[in-house]
Structure 1
Amino acid sequence: MLGLMQDRPLSLPHVFRRAERCFGHKTVVSGRVGGETTMTWAEVCARTRRLAAALDELGVPAEARVGTFAWNSHRHLELYLAVPCTGRVLHTINHRLFGEQITYVVNDAADDVLFVDRSILPAIWPLVDTFTTVRAVVVMDDGSDAEIPEDARVVDYEDLLGRAANPGHEFAVADENTAAALCYTSGTTGAPKGVLYSHRSIVLHACLLLMVDTFGINERDVVMPIVPMFHVNAWGLPYSAMLCGAGLVLPGPAMTPPELAGMLARHQVTFGAAVATVWRGLLPVLGRHDLPAVRQIVCGGGAVDEALTRGYQDTIGVPLTNAWGMTETSPVVTASRVGTAHDRCTPEQRRALLGTPGPAVPLTEVRIVGDDGREVSWDGRTSGELQVSGPTIVARYFGSRAVADGFTDDGWLRTGDVATVDRHGYLRIVDRTKDLVKSGGEWISSVELENAIMDHPDVSEAAVFGVADEKWGERPVACVVARPGATPTVETVRDHLRARVASWWLPDQVFFLDEIPKTATGKFSKQGLRSWYVADNRGPGKSI
């Protein structure tokens, strides 16, 4: 027997109609080169309708991929709506990838047209002739003075919207499993892999972020996704804001710490999200601003070290909250919170708890699997490979180089992370499988060692990786960035660690760098550090 409920698709046209009809008075702020633009949701939705008509006039077919190279802005938001609401697929692309990777993902996705912010155009235009399927490049003027090529393929975004006819047709997507958006992984360990999101997965994920025990985003919030809209749909935050009518602040190209801190204060932002690298860069300038409205700031893309979350608690009265996910998981799978099981914890213990990934959000499931293929106990100590499943998790990859070895026989995603789960379901990431250091037959967690080093008052950043060792198999190497004006030494770093980790975890080599190389998504690039180490033929005990 089946239930007798209406069969209505979970699709983005509903999200659009809700924002347009219920929250037209709320505002969307967009940063641009040298200033800001403020619009209402009603204005954004009206422009979205014109963009949908413009896509028709451009001859973009149904199911075609529409590529974007754009910052967080109202124009990118219009693409977030118009493209999938008309049965096309939004393909957001990270312009910080290597040129060869950009060419690969554009061609692998078979993008039909590209929308490019003017400030990003100099990085993309030299590659245009390597794109085999792209018919047009639509330039969105974000205030940059970058030269716009005189080429028949170039179209101005505002001219395109101005010429659009019949912008009033209703959006409808009959099947909620229709593809809506495409994002490629960063490809740090091989060719980027395509993750194809459905309308259903996007709507479900947006609803999950509204839940109180996830992020609790609501109509009274002003949400500022610093995390890029070109990476995993800005963690789904724009769609969540549309669903509940929250105000939205999109920083655009204004990504320096002073600019971001100014926007947080000026627009009374209540909820922000970014990777640890961004929050670490913001911390020194936050003390110059009054931020009484901030209720929660979420950090993803890696572990939150104790020094960083304590710094936020001391500076603005709000600790960082950690969350975990991947491109393959929409991305949020876990979000940390203080539950009833932790009522007796001290304030310091609660702050540390919020710095962990936390428990799985509703509709998602996690399990830890040992080397023998069996699920291990949820005891908070026994580690294994983290595997995840749920309606917001990828089932298989998209594209010409799609691989099947990232999934188990029963359909769970193999994340490549090593983790533990305690009896209350709280996840702790021990390391990436490839970043664990096996020394003398025992595992060293590069994540835990990095966090311990970054707790040193003179250290800003630290990354740890393993190198071959004739006696022990592997030994950890630490690369450290000092805080401005500080001068830590190899011995002061090692002395600091002696009270925090086992003696055999102490790195034999500590190098002091001006900066640690980052991936295209702002994470520490272990691959880049390993390449630097090999190329420079660094020896034991040396530092720079």
Structure 2
Amino acid sequence: MDVLKGLSMDMPLLLSVINEHGAASNGRCEVVSREFSGEVVRFTFRQMNARTKQLANALKKRGLGLGSRATTIAWNTHRHMELFYGLTGMGAAIHTANPRLANDQLTFVVNSGKGEILFFDQDILPQVEAIAPDLKHVKTFVVLERRETMPASASLTLECYEDWLSAETTAFEWPEFDERTAATICFTSGTTGLPKGVVYSHRNAFLQTMTLCSLAWMPVPERNPLVLMPLAPMFHSSAWNVPFGAFYIGRKLVLPGRDLSSRAIQEMIASERVTNVALVPSILANLIEYSEQTGKSLEPLEALISAGGGLSPALISKLQDQYNMKTGHNWGMTECMFGTTGILSAPQLDLPKEERIAYQCTDGRQTPGFVFKIVDDDGNPLPHDGETRGHLRFRGLWATRSYLDMEVGSAVDRDGWLITGDIATIDPDGYMCLVDRAKDLIKSGGEWISSIDLEKIAASHPDVSMAAAISVPHPKWQERPVMVVVKVPGSKLTEQELLDYMKPKMAKWWVPDGVIFVDSMPLTGSNKVRKNELREEYRDFLTGSQA
């Protein structure tokens, strides 16, 4: 049967298209980047485009091209951004490795990427020197620095990134190739077992960027021109594609570099007039705390995109009432980057404040091109009634099907739906709410307790900076919840005071059996708490020597 097809031109969705669009249509927009030294440097989109072409010429001279791979271990800087455009533009894949991994995991990740060139920031040199003897594929080590600030190494021959660029011309024609070609490679955080590789195609990244830039996903500032600063790292799902988004819509991009202290972030917000940030809740909480303790304003910040953990009703209310700030809390994972939008739909915008905030505390609605469902233990669909809990599954335009170098379909169930490992509810309007990671649920006396709910309640206490709820073995109930808590600096909060605060907000049998105060939490590269480490450290808290 002959089917009428569209008669429009075909053009592959390549990241080089966004790069060229940024230079041609938004060429005077700025990329502002903070160096390792603290110096702030500026480039226009047009200048950065020229630098990516110099980089492409340098890469081509060293044998890279369509199908090649190169690895980076770097922070959010202009040079790292150039590698995204330079490598992908010529058809190579950029593999971003997480410098926060332990050396054995980092070695595994770099080896799995199979890149022959390793680009890294100068402060990461000691880590690179430590793992270099075990790297199987890397032949060239390139420091992302100028000649005058190059570090020295007794064990490695180092090349200078800026020397590579200065030796090349800006004449380079980006090739055209299949949009399904690999563009970026990112590994999961490895909270359990070894990290797994996820490969995004150009088509994936382009469609993600288009969605990111839509009114349905990004909160829009009203008082100032839009200026974007991604605090989510580029080695974690490409900083949620915010850097590509800046080129796509023509807005100033601020890259914070290595220093993510609250002081440094506040200074960049103020000096560069940042209106929108993309970040995880732990960084947000620290930033708010810093502002309140020092009196330093967060203006002109107007909106934030958050993911990687829930926002409490108290925090959302504070952001809206005291900081006049919009929030968009989204859900995603390495396997899909993001899958929901935290921007409310029209019916929820008109609700009374408390009801509206309740929706803003969910994990959002599915984005266009994504379909979610929840299933029981046997894979049978469950109702979207906002109450029934089930295993979260999804399919989508940029959802992964297989992990790198693993069997085809290794990420999905028998019906082709991606296995998230999350337990969730979905309401009739499509709002999804994570109940817990399946592995983090606490089963006490045969009844389930949500660690996420406990954490949200504990974190709403003004003296709590960070909270994690973990299951601990119990002689009678098999498991009981225990809170691990980081207090706000200077707080004298006691265990009993926190438990008394939590009790009225939950069922009696949910109340934790204890509170452990710690100075800091073990975190993944995406600033998620490594609960497996906490469970192991405190496994005897109720039964053994620590009880």
Tell me the distance in 1 between the aligned counterparts of 2:404 and 2:410. 13
Counterpart for residue 299 of structure 1: 306
- 1:119 is paired with a residue whose SS is helix
- 1:155 is paired with a residue whose SS is strand
What's the CA shift for 1:143? 11
Counterpart for residue 327 of structure 1: 334
1:345-360 matches, within 5 Å, as 345-360=351-366
What's the CA shift for 1:459? 1.6
Tell me the distance in 2 between the aligned counterparts of 1:496 and 1:220. 41
CA contact (8 A) 1:320 1:355 kept: no
Counterpart for residue 459 of structure 1: 464
What's the CA shift for 1:169? 2.1
Q: Is 1:310 equivalent to 2:317 in the alignment?
A: yes
What's the CA shift for 1:412? 1.2
| Change in CA separation of 1:405 and 1:52 when aligned onto 2, cut-off 3 Å | closer
- 1:499 is paired with a residue whose SS is helix
Tell me the distance in 2 between the aligned counterparts of 1:265 and 1:286. 12
What's the CA shift for 1:150? 5.4
What's the CA shift for 1:232? 0.6
- 1:158 is paired with a residue whose SS is helix
Which residue type is aligned with residue 367 of structure 2?
V
| Change in CA separation of 1:543 and 1:25 when aligned onto 2, cut-off 3 Å | farther
- 1:149 is paired with a residue whose SS is coil
Residues 67-107 of structure 1: per-residue CA shift (max 9 Å, x gap)? 01111111011101010110111001111111111111111
1:166-205 matches, within 5 Å, as 166-205=169-208
Q: Is 1:374 equivalent to 2:380 in the alignment?
A: yes
Tell me the distance in 2 between the aligned counterparts of 1:372 and 1:327. 25
Q: Give unmatched runs, 5+ long, in structure 2.
A: none
- 1:460 is paired with a residue whose SS is strand
Say which of 1, 7, 11 aligns to 1:8: 11
What's the CA shift for 1:519? 1.5
| Change in CA separation of 1:402 and 1:231 when aligned onto 2, cut-off 3 Å | farther
| Change in CA separation of 1:8 and 1:312 when aligned onto 2, cut-off 3 Å | same
| Change in CA separation of 1:470 and 1:541 when aligned onto 2, cut-off 3 Å | closer
Which residue type is aligned with residue 391 of structure 2?
E
Tell me the distance in 1 between the aligned counterparts of 2:6 and 2:150. 58
Q: Is 1:384 equivalent to 2:390 in the alignment?
A: yes
Say which of 20, 28, 32 aligns to 2:31: 28
Q: Is 1:238 equivalent to 2:247 in the alignment?
A: no
Q: Is 1:249 equivalent to 2:263 in the alignment?
A: no
Counterpart for residue 105 of structure 1: 109
Tell me the distance in 2 between the aligned counterparts of 1:16 and 1:151. 37
| Change in CA separation of 1:308 and 1:525 when aligned onto 2, cut-off 3 Å | farther
Tell me the distance in 2 between the aligned counterparts of 1:430 and 1:403. 29
Tell me the distance in 2 between the aligned counterparts of 1:431 and 1:344. 29
Counterpart for residue 258 of structure 1: 263
CA contact (8 A) 1:182 1:195 kept: yes
CA contact (8 A) 2:401 2:409 kept: no
- 2:501 is paired with a residue whose SS is helix
| Change in CA separation of 1:540 and 1:455 when aligned onto 2, cut-off 3 Å | farther
What's the CA shift for 1:340? 2.4
Residues 442-491 of structure 1: per-residue CA shift (max 9 Å, x gap)? 11000000111111222221101112223212111111112222222222
| Change in CA separation of 1:145 and 1:513 when aligned onto 2, cut-off 3 Å | farther
CA contact (8 A) 2:274 2:300 kept: yes
Counterpart for residue 78 of structure 1: 82
Counterpart for residue 118 of structure 1: 122
1:120-519 matches, within 5 Å, as 120-141=124-145, 147-149=151-153, 153-164=157-168, 166-215=169-218, 220-287=225-292, 288-329=295-336, 331-399=337-405, 401=406, 404-519=409-524
What's the CA shift for 1:291? 4.1
Tell me the distance in 2 between the aligned counterparts of 1:111 and 1:101. 16
Mean Cα displacement is larger for which, 500-509 or 278-287? 278-287
CA contact (8 A) 1:221 1:247 kept: yes
| Change in CA separation of 1:39 and 1:244 when aligned onto 2, cut-off 3 Å | same
What's the CA shift for 1:262? 1.1
Tell me the distance in 1 between the aligned counterparts of 2:171 and 2:154. 32
Tell me the distance in 1 between the aligned counterparts of 2:387 and 2:101. 37
- 2:533 is paired with a residue whose SS is helix
Residues 234-253 of structure 1: per-residue CA shift (max 9 Å, x gap)? 00111111111111000001
Residues 355-384 of structure 1: per-residue CA shift (max 9 Å, x gap)? 321101111111111223111111111010
Tell me the distance in 2 between the aligned counterparts of 1:480 and 1:541. 21
Tell me the distance in 2 between the aligned counterparts of 1:142 and 1:374. 58
CA contact (8 A) 1:65 1:88 kept: yes
What's the CA shift for 1:148? 2.2
Tell me the distance in 2 between the aligned counterparts of 1:431 and 1:451. 12
Tell me the distance in 2 between the aligned counterparts of 1:223 and 1:355. 23
Tell me the distance in 2 between the aligned counterparts of 1:143 and 1:464. 48
Tell me the distance in 1 between the aligned counterparts of 2:212 and 2:454. 31
Q: Give unmatched runs, 5+ long, in structure 1.
A: none
Tell me the distance in 2 between the aligned counterparts of 1:50 and 1:432. 45
CA contact (8 A) 2:442 2:451 kept: yes
